[in-house]
Amino acid sequence: MAQQSRGVEVDEYGSPRSPLNSCGTTWERRMSAQLVWRDRNEIPQLDPSVGLPHSEAVESTLTDFYQITMCYAYWKAGKENQHAVFDLFFRKCPFHGEFAIIAGVEEAVRFLNTFHFSNDQIEYLKGQLPTAKEGFFDFLKKLDCSKVTVYAIPEGSIVFAKEPLMRIEGPLAVCQLLETPLLNLLNYASLVATNAARHAMASAANPGNRPIQLLEFGTRRAQGPDGAMSASRYSYLGGFHGTSNVRAGHLFGIPVVGTHAHAFVTSFEGLRDLEGEPKPLGTCEDFVQLVLQYRAEFNRKVATKPTMQNEGELAAFISYALSFPKNCLALVDTYDTIHSGVCNFLMVALALHSLGYKARGIRLDSGDLAYLSKEARKLFKATSKAFDVPFDSLAIVASNDINEKVIMALNQEGHELDSFGIGTHLVTCQAQPALGMVYKLAELDSTPRMKLSQDVEKTSIPCRKALYRLYARSGVAVLDMMQHSADPPPKEGDRIFCRHLFDETKRCYVVPSRVEQLLVCIWQEGKSVGHRPSLKECRDHCIQSLKMVRSDHLRTENPTPYKVSASGVFYDFFKDLWQKTSPIFELQ
Amino acid sequence: MAQQSRGVEVDEYGSPRSPLNSCGTTWERRMSAQLVWRDRNEIPQLDPSVGLPHSEAVESTLTDFYQITMCYAYWKAGKENQHAVFDLFFRKCPFHGEFAIIAGVEEAVRFLNTFHFSNDQIEYLKGQLPTAKEGFFDFLKKLDCSKVTVYAIPEGSIVFAKEPLMRIEGPLAVCQLLETPLLNLLNYASLVATNAARHAMASAANPGNRPIQLLEFGTRRAQGPDGAMSASRYSYLGGFHGTSNVRAGHLFGIPVVGTHAHAFVTSFEGLRDLEGEPKPLGTCEDFVQLVLQYRAEFNRKVATKPTMQNEGELAAFISYALSFPKNCLALVDTYDTIHSGVCNFLMVALALHSLGYKARGIRLDSGDLAYLSKEARKLFKATSKAFDVPFDSLAIVASNDINEKVIMALNQEGHELDSFGIGTHLVTCQAQPALGMVYKLAELDSTPRMKLSQDVEKTSIPCRKALYRLYARSGVAVLDMMQHSADPPPKEGDRIFCRHLFDETKRCYVVPSRVEQLLVCIWQEGKSVGHRPSLKECRDHCIQSLKMVRSDHLRTENPTPYKVSASGVFYDFFKDLWQKTSPIFELQ
């Protein structure tokens, strides 16, 4: 059943079938080779000012099959063009916290802009729906987002549970098809941005109030290649300063960082690896000799256990310094962190200093980071004193299994770290690897719709809604309030009655000094609407946005829930509809 | 600082700068537009029989920046062509288990085949390494995997902690650059395949020994778009039967499944939504009337609480059946699962049956799945009896927050489920979202290299090694044994002395009935070597491979560790090298 494509027999991966892999399978091959090889320039775009999605996997078929079957059933029932309003939201903040950061909005716009079904996708779907009428596929073929309107809270904003983060309006069938890809694009992006923001806040709370550089090191542990790209991008948005991921640096302009690994150190056996031609550096004709002179002096004045110094490691550091004299940061834990690694680094740093170069510092990748950072700092200071050099504030980077809790424990104990390189815990969001965003029908042909649940808090909130953030005179956000989108917006200075939607005992009046409309139109009639902020702008907005709420909403232990409320009118409407819709159980 | 590209001013996303997004940022834009728009056909391939990687993110720059800086330092030190041997392995099996499934090998071959630095990547790297010599970039420009040789355990095999899963040999610089992308490609793939295999084993252990269909439903919760694609692909490899992900179905030939969501049900308000033209189905001219006749009869004979039946839900099921008469599976928990959903479904199923169509069953997405499945089955049986129809074995699919533990709890309690749809827990591997694969230098220019650690078990295992699986006469694998690759391989019938590498008290003799060489050459001199199995073949191999070890290695609670050992000769060599390399601490 292998398919023919451009005259070449291909396997199910779209590869030409060679003699080596043609002893093949009997498995039916549905794959068409073009799918993999499609030229991205051929993808139609509604709005030429908007770029393509950054992953080629972001296309109309990155969706659950039930969206297609539902779409067919809508079409068959003549409902495909009913005017639908969907809300995208989550019910519970991640990481046992009381906030999240919304991210993925720019990618969502790129997806809306290119949404369509190609001929080969249509052919595939025909195979999957053999009994569907031909007219349905004609309908699919013409489908795009030119009749869809989308509102979203700006990317990088602080957001809360149960409020609509995105409102999607338009013909029922196409809005339904957008559910899975939009959830995919926003769920992980928002989760990792939130995780990054939490790590940034934890690291900022160090006892010395030192500014801490946060570096994302997760490419190898991320959930697949694009998982790595998203992790780098949205960690930066959430407040990180750099990434090790070169492709993310290249594609998104994030600063890239990195020095060397253990393999570099173990690739040197000893100083004999540096024999041969003398190695000049700057004004020095033989840098190796210069380091060895400093070694002798350092071991007289500072080191306590010179026999523990590994010469392969010293050779590696010398070699690295020859390559990066202005940017020398050494991984010091291959043999013994303090007595070998830090000492070998300091000898090289002294030699560099004598030539006018400033070494950057060290990286710790194992052991007790609080203790080792303090011991290393002591050696830095001792060296400063013994050699009259400015080594007190050389950088100490930590990169072993760091997470939010580890950072807080290090703050508690006190440490001398200047930077954290965070991988696994950041990018896989180990503390909670999924954010449960959902996408619910709120209104159809101007009639409110709700999905009931035996758990009333899981009931979806009906109607086309507007969402406002009300600020106090101090500039701090007091609460978010939703209401019917057609109702007049709350105004500065008005006394506004707000209610908790699921707890009738919670209500308050607010007199806002400022009112912010949170859901902003980003897509209308096939065009991107409004300013599309750059990644850096989203990052700045995120940092700013976190400052607009009280710190007790942000803390790790028992944070205070931020108030997400409804107008009095909306509350009454919601309760009334629930009473009418929910079945009353008949007990026997 | 916006770049010019093809005469169009572009933003940092590579989009043409429109008036809307040009009110811009002062942020330096390093991005080159071509990166996003590059035609994939331009990517050079060493072996034309091998396809491109499935994600365009899989390229040379999907790596940590320190690989590039190290590469420069190797080049500067004249070490770039030293012959290196790296091992890829993990130290601890995931999910508190004692096994894993290796996956991602095919993708690794595709990556090796296309590894190169494009001109725009080189330009970017020049900007990041402003002091590096020009010759280094000429060196990078010419780099590919034509001098690299890779051995791997076949994709889908059961594998264990601390044994080499992949051996990468070739010039030091290029092998170093492969570290991050290879780890990225194998880490998550193996993790999710292992997770899927564990779910498959848990579901197979149901009390009724019913064959259970396992469906991957995770696209919306996966970690980014390609995360979703990898999740679908490797869940299938690990033993799942289908996915909801249409693109994965299309690209990899995995069976796709899906019916409808709550939104479909709530989009219908009542039977008036079906008014208008009569709806014919098969030989029946008005299917709605037919269902209503069956409703009257069903409520007389079977239903106990007809007032709880929601008519909007019934309208939705009728509409769905009109679209998919041969494949009607209803989501029954929008209002009340048993008294509304299951009853409404059965009325429709009876009408379908009378026309010669067989309904498929129901999906439960909330509530107590054990209880609800049993109650639903009772209603199925009552309907069979009352109407003399074969409804006893209609399918019951469960899809709410399922994971391995939930499945085992359901087995314990007893249930009537035929299928699980699993999303979040499967694709994000919530129980352990990262597998800690590492990539360590084992040999350089024929000299063994090891990375020490204060924790001896974290010491890397030096040398170019071969790995053998020794089987007992029963066909069961007894242990895996590593040794120097140059030593003669163990032979069937020989009495072989095997030792635990880190515990000198553990040793044994094995007389194998069969010996399997586990590390097989997959890439040599720029060519793919050997048969490249299809996804389906890898899946079959995985299912087979799990049967080759004792079940106590696979169980969830306190599994027995499988023996990963070394030959006696290798053990002695390893201990000797450790003694020579490890520094002896000087206590004061």
CB B355 within 8 A of CB B341: no
Please, which residues have CB within 8 angstroms of residue B507's CB and are 6 or more apart in sequence? B497, B498, B499, B500
Q: CB A246 to CB B59 under 8 A?
A: no
Q: Do B436 and A424 touch (CB under 8 A)?
A: yes
Residue of B nearest to A312 (CA): B581
Contacting residues of A for B535, CB less than 8 Å apart: 12-13
Question: Which of left, alpha, beta for B447 (phi over 0: left; psi -120 to 50: alpha)?
Answer: beta
Helices (H), B28-104: 34-37, 65-76
Place B5 in a pLDDT band, splitting at 50, 70 and 90. Answer: very low
Per the DSSP assignment, residues forming a β-bridge with A151 are: A167, A521
Query: Using CA of residue A126, residue A128, residue A129, residue A130, what is the dihedral sign?
Result: positive
**Percent of residues in chain A assigned helix, strand, coil, to nearest 5:** 40, 20, 45
Q: Do B225 and A451 lie within an 8 Å CB cutoff? A: no
* CB contact (8 A) between residue A77 and residue B319: yes
Supply the pLDDT for residue A454.
65
Print the SS3 string covering A296-330. HHHHHHCCCCHHHCCHHHHHHHHHHHHHCCCCCEE
Work out the pLDDT band at B227, boundaries 50, 70, 90. confident
**pLDDT tops 60 at residue B569:** yes
How confident is residue B454, by pLDDT bands cut at 50, 70 and 90?
Answer: low
In whole angstroms, what is the distance from residue A89 CA to residue A107 CA?
Answer: 17
Contact A535 B12 (CB under 8 A): yes
Closest CB to A267 among B28, B55, B441? B441
Largest interatomic CA distance in chain B = 97
* Bridge partners (DSSP) listed for residue A171: A83
Tell me which chain A residues have a C-beta less than 8 angstroms from the C-beta of B65: 244-246, 249, 256-258
Q: A54 and A251 in contact (C-beta within 8 Å)?
A: yes
Using the beta-carbon criterion (under 8 Å), do A440 and B258 form an inter-chain contact?
A: no
pLDDT at A41: 63
- From the list A334, A428, A444, the residue facing B267 with the nearest CB is A444
**Residues of chain A contacting residue B219, judged by C-beta atoms under 8 Å apart:** 62-64, 180, 184
Q: Distance (Å, rounded) from C-alpha A66 to C-alpha B132?
A: 54
Cβ neighbours, 10 Å, residue A299: 16
- How big is the CA angle at B149 (ends B148 and B150), to the nearest 5 degrees? 120
Could you give the strand order of the β-sheet that contains A329-331, starting from the edge strand earlier in sequence? A242-243, A213-216, A419-422, A395-398, A361-364, A329-331
Please list the helix, strand and coil fractions of chain B in percent, rounded to the nearest 5, in that order. Answer: 40, 20, 45
pLDDT digits (tens, 9 = 90+) for B249-289: 999 999 999 989 998 999 999 999 999 899 999 999 999 99
- How many Cα atoms sit within 13 Å of A329 on the Cβ side? 21
Query: For B176, which residue in chain A has the nearest alpha carbon?
Result: A263
**A324 → closest Cβ in B69, B229, B251:** B69
Average pLDDT, chain B: 90
Do B41 and A36 make contact, defined as CB atoms within 8 angstroms? no
CB contact under 8 A, A264 and B230: no
Question: Please, what sign has the CA dihedral across residues A363, A368, A369, A370?
Answer: negative
Query: For B228-342, where are the E strands, in sequence order?
Result: 242-243, 329-331
Residues of chain B with C-beta less than 8 angstroms from the C-beta of A428: 223, 428, 433-434
A-chain residues within 8 Å CB-CB of B531? 20-21, 23
Residue B447: its chain A contacts at CB < 8 A? Answer: 269
Residue in B61, B227, B264 nearest the CB of A227: B227
Provide the shortest C-alpha distance from residue B65 to chain A (in Å).
5
- Give the pLDDT confidence score for residue A458 in this predicted structure: 79
Domains and CATH numbers, chain A: 3-37 (no CATH), 65-177+450-581 (3.20.140.10), 220-427 (3.20.20.70)
| Nearest alpha carbon to residue B27 among A249, A536, A51, A239 | A536
The H-or-E segment that residue A577 falls in is helix A568-581
Distance from the first to the final alpha carbon of chain A: 59
> Do residues B67 and B264 make contact, with C-beta atoms less than 8 angstroms apart?
no
CB distance B55–A225 less than 8 Å?
yes
Percent of chain B, pLDDT > 70? 93
Res B36: pLDDT: 41
Q: What is the DSSP letter of B42?
A: G
**Contact A184/B20, CB-based, under 8 Å?**
no
Which chain A positions have a beta carbon within 8 Å of B322's beta carbon?
73, 76-77
Q: How far apart are CA B346 and CA B584, in angstroms?
A: 76
Backbone phi and psi for residue B191, each to the nearest 5 degrees, phi listed first:
-65, -50
The pLDDT confidence band at residue B383, using thresholds 50, 70 and 90, is: very high
Report the gap between the CA of A206 and the closest CA in chain B (Å).
27
- CA angle (B321 as vertex; B316, B325 as ends), nearest 5: 170
Residue pairs between chains A and B whose CB atoms are closer than 8 Å = 500
- B81 contact residues in A (CB cutoff 8 A): none
Q: Name which residue leads in pLDDT, B52 or B372.
A: B372
Reported pTM: 0.91
In 3D, which of B350, B324, B343 has the Cα closest to residue B264?
A: B324
Min CA distance, B23 vs chain A (Å)? 8
**CB-closest option in A36, A65, A70 to B246:** A65
| pLDDT tens per residue across span B142-160 | 999 999 999 999 999 999 9
Please give the pLDDT value at position B56. 85
Q: Which two tokens stand for residue A272?
A: 């004999």
Q: Contact A541/A157 with Cβ under 8 angstroms?
A: yes
Q: What are the DSSP calls for A237-281, one per residue?
A: HTT--EESBHHHHHHH-PPB-----HHHHHT--SGGGG-SS---B
pLDDT score of A312? 95
Q: Taking CB atoms and an 8 Å cutoff, what residues of chain B touch A258? A: 64-69
Nearest by CB to residue A15, choosing from B24, B50, B450, is B50
Percentage of residues of chain B with pLDDT beyond 90: 81
Q: In this predicted structure, what is the pLDDT of residue B581?
A: 79
Please name the member of A25, A226, A339 whose beta carbon is closest to the beta carbon of B534.
A25
CB within 8 Å: B428 and A223: yes
Structure tokens at A205: 């709370």
In chain B, whose CA is at the least distance from the CA of A188?
B223
Report the chain A residue with the minimal C-alpha distance to residue B41.
A37
Nearest to A184 by CA among A451, A425, A423, A435: A435
pLDDT tens digits, one per residue of B500-531: 999 999 999 999 999 999 999 999 999 999 99
A272: CB partners within 8 A, 6+ apart? none
Instruction: Indicate the range of A165-169, B22-26, B330-334 predicted with least confidence.
Output: B22-26
Q: With 0-12 CB in 10 A as exposed, 13-18 as middle and 19+ as buried, what is B342?
A: buried
User: What are the chain A neighbours of B324 within 8 Å (beta carbons)?
Assistant: 69, 72-73, 131
- The beta strand positions in B359-418, using DSSP E, are 361-364, 395-398
Residue type, A541: H
With beta carbons under 8 A apart, name residues in chain B contacting A583: 308, 310, 335-336, 339-340
**Residue A490 DSSP symbol:** P
pLDDT bucket at B40, cuts 50 / 70 / 90:
low
Q: What is the pLDDT along chain A (588 residues), one digit of tens a residue?
A: 333 333 334 333 333 333 222 222 222 232 333 334 455 667 888 998 898 898 888 999 999 999 999 999 999 999 999 999 999 999 999 999 999 999 999 999 999 999 999 999 999 999 999 999 999 999 999 999 999 999 999 999 999 999 999 999 999 999 999 999 999 999 999 999 999 999 999 999 998 889 999 999 999 998 888 889 999 999 999 999 999 999 999 999 999 999 899 989 999 999 999 998 999 999 999 999 999 999 999 999 999 899 999 999 999 999 999 999 999 999 999 989 999 999 999 999 999 999 999 999 999 999 999 999 999 999 999 999 999 999 999 999 999 889 999 999 999 999 999 999 999 999 999 889 999 999 999 999 999 998 877 677 778 899 999 999 999 999 999 999 999 999 999 999 999 999 999 998 999 999 999 999 999 999 999 999 999 999 999 999 999 999 999 999 999 889 999 999 999 999 999 999 988 877 777 676
CA B411 to chain centre: 25
Side chain identity, residue B291: V
Sign of CA dihedral B145, B150, B154, B160: negative
Per-residue model confidence (pLDDT) at position B458 = 79
Nearest CA in chain B to A179: B220
Q: Is the pLDDT of residue B588 over 90?
A: no
